[in-house]
Amino acid sequence: MSPFAGLRFSPARITTSLALCGLLAACGPAPIYRTDNATVTATPSQVATSPTRFAGQEVVWGGRIVAVRNFPDHSEIELLGYPLDSSQRPQFDKDAGGRFLALMPGYVEGMDYPADAPMTLQGRIEGVREGKVGEAGYVFPLVRVQQSHRWTPEEMSKPHVSFGVGVGVVGGIH
């Protein structure tokens, strides 16, 4: 005997169920980059104060684009870093975590990366560089970018809602 024997599936019930599934799937994008225990959760400011501690480690950082600079063999995007939500979108309603430079291979068209646009990237910390923000001295962490995503206004405006069923462990086993 089928486990579904005796259940009635009306067209209205099926349509409602499919609509609900579609609505839940559209609530917020999934994270765009995979992270693991080796991914550093430090902020750009923390890396700037202890660069040797974080050299060569992987990060997923995001923020607001400040400027784009092109050089003969690479481009640099200066970002003001912000915490990321679970979809890895920058959270501009939180406190900024410091500036950093994203080192991109080749030429980056500045018009494709306009000032104030939100961006998230995955890469490796490659040290720091001293520079200036206005007249003030500043230490910028350098991130060699492996992947990047510039968020569209539509992606940023999707509400973040998550639902889950299951068992989880917070903090892990030590």
Task: Give the CATH number of the domain where residue 80 resides.
Answer: 2.40.50.140
pLDDT digits (tens, 9 = 90+) for 56-92: 999 999 999 999 999 999 999 999 999 999 999 999 9
CA distance 51 to 45: 10
Largest CA distance in the chain: 78
Q: Evaluate whether residue 174 is within a structural domain.
A: no
Q: Evaluate whether residue 69 is within a structural domain.
A: yes
pLDDT band at 34 (very low <50, low <70, confident <90, very high): confident
- What is the pTM (predicted TM-score) of this model? 0.75
Q: Evaluate whether residue 107 is within a structural domain.
A: yes
Into how many domains does the chain fold?
A: 1
Q: Evaluate whether residue 122 is within a structural domain.
A: yes
Q: Evaluate whether residue 70 is within a structural domain.
A: yes
Residue 153's Cβ-count burial label (10 Å; 0-12, 13-18, 19+) is exposed
CA distance 123 to 57: 8
Q: Evaluate whether residue 1 is within a structural domain.
A: no
Q: Evaluate whether residue 141 is within a structural domain.
A: yes
